[in-house]
A and B are shown apart, each in its own frame.
Chain A
Amino acid sequence: MTYIDPHIHMVSRTTDDYQRMAQAGCVAITEPAFWAGFDRSSPQGFYDYFRQLTDTEPKRASLYGIQHHCWLCINPKEAEDVGFAREVISLIPEFMSCPNVLGIGEIGLNKNSKNELTILEEQLALAEQHNQLVLVHTPHLEDKLKGTLLIMDAVANTSISPDRVLIDHVEEHTVSAVLDRGFWAGMTLYPDSKCTPQRAADIIESVGSERIWINSAGDWGPSDPLAVPKCQVEMASRGHTGALIQKISYDNPLEFLSQSGKFKVS
């Protein structure tokens, strides 16, 4: 079945993954800028990363018939040094007009610190100023609930409409708060943390299928670039309709991402 993976870090994946994703029905992806597993030593390292996301990766994806899009930002794991983060933020506007840039992301919080919050607010201001969509990373594990609430409050202090913000990595204890406040919600399908395909299917059964999507967040750590089609199979095997499965894995991402005016499917 055709699908969109709206959150995957292909710079960390092989061309074999692109091939398998294409074979499994992937027609488009979006790749948020994130932490590389180590801290970059200079803002120039981010400049090169942004070139990779806007130039190299779309070409690699196109070989497999997959439309590649990206989001730019300084991620929360490297936002503790405010001066460094501001230098990176100053590089972003020059890339915003690239045809595959959909917005600012994945911004958010990691350890819920004051400096992370300052940089989150400054990047929300950048999105506001340039009328960009926003993709939000919520913290891991014990920090998720608190971080999700702080992030939603930070967005509420801007003029950005919640329906232009996707709050990612929701789980059972955050999904309803995110949806109730009018945001879009993303469920990340991971083997050991976040949601499994089964729990994501449980959440769809419980909270419904409006303003919610699934993604693999495949990267350099334990993750599965085929997690979205695995969740499609899980839902089909439970007897859910093709229309419902298509809604969460294709129609919903298409609706949210099309607000950018730049999103394309193959």
Chain B
Amino acid sequence: MSNPSQLSKTEVIDRYFLEHRAKLLDIAAFLDRIDRAEGDDGSDFRIDALLECAKQLHSSEIGRTERMLLLLSDSTTEPVDSAGTKGATGAVPPKS
């Protein structure tokens, strides 16, 4: 059983708009920062994944966060032979 939101749509927008406007500008600035930097012009799987996720912002269906997280998840089901590294990158590396 869910706990319905106590705020109206307008109240949600009034309350959170500026914060999320800033987050979107941060992403644009981040992409510009990459372009201005020296180095390989080839694509990076993490940025490719981020741009794929961004398409969800155009969806009008609830569940955008979950769908983005699924796009960023390893979809295999069998344990891997060895851990290799301890860390995670935040997107699925190629050939994983």
Contact = CB atoms under 8 A, between A and B. Distances in A.
B6 A238 contact: yes
Given A173-B66, A173-B69, A141 B89 contact: yes
Contacts of B93: 142
A142 B91 contact: yes
B28 interface: no
Interface in B1-47: 1-7, 16
Interface stretch (A1-9, A25-33, A109-117, A180-188): A109-117
Q: Give the interface size bracket for B toward A.
A: 35 or more
Given A146-B73, A173-B69, A141 B79 contact: no
Contact of B7 (A110, A146, A150, A239): A239
Contacts of A214: none
Interface residues of A, number: 39
Given A77-B86, A146-B74, A172-B65, A210 B92 contact: no
A142 B74 CA distance: 5
A205 B4 CA distance: 6
A113 B90 contact: no
Contacts of B6: 238-240
B37 to A, nearest CB: 21
A111 B80 contact: yes
Interface string A225-266: 000000000000011100010000000000000000000000
A117 B80 CA distance: 10
Contacts of B69: 145, 171-173
A204 interface: yes
Interface in A190-224: 193, 198-199, 202, 204-210
B76 interface: yes
A113 B74 CA distance: 13
Given A80-B83, A208-B3, 5 more contacts: A114-B82, A142-B88, A145-B70, A173-B66, A208-B1
Interface of A: 35, 77, 80, 110-117, 139-146, 149-150, 171-173, 193, 198-199, 202, 204-210, 238-240, 244
15 contacts: A35-B86, A111-B85, A112-B74, A112-B80, A141-B72, A142-B90, A143-B74, A149-B77, A171-B69, A173-B70, A198-B16, A208-B1, A239-B6, A239-B7, A240-B6
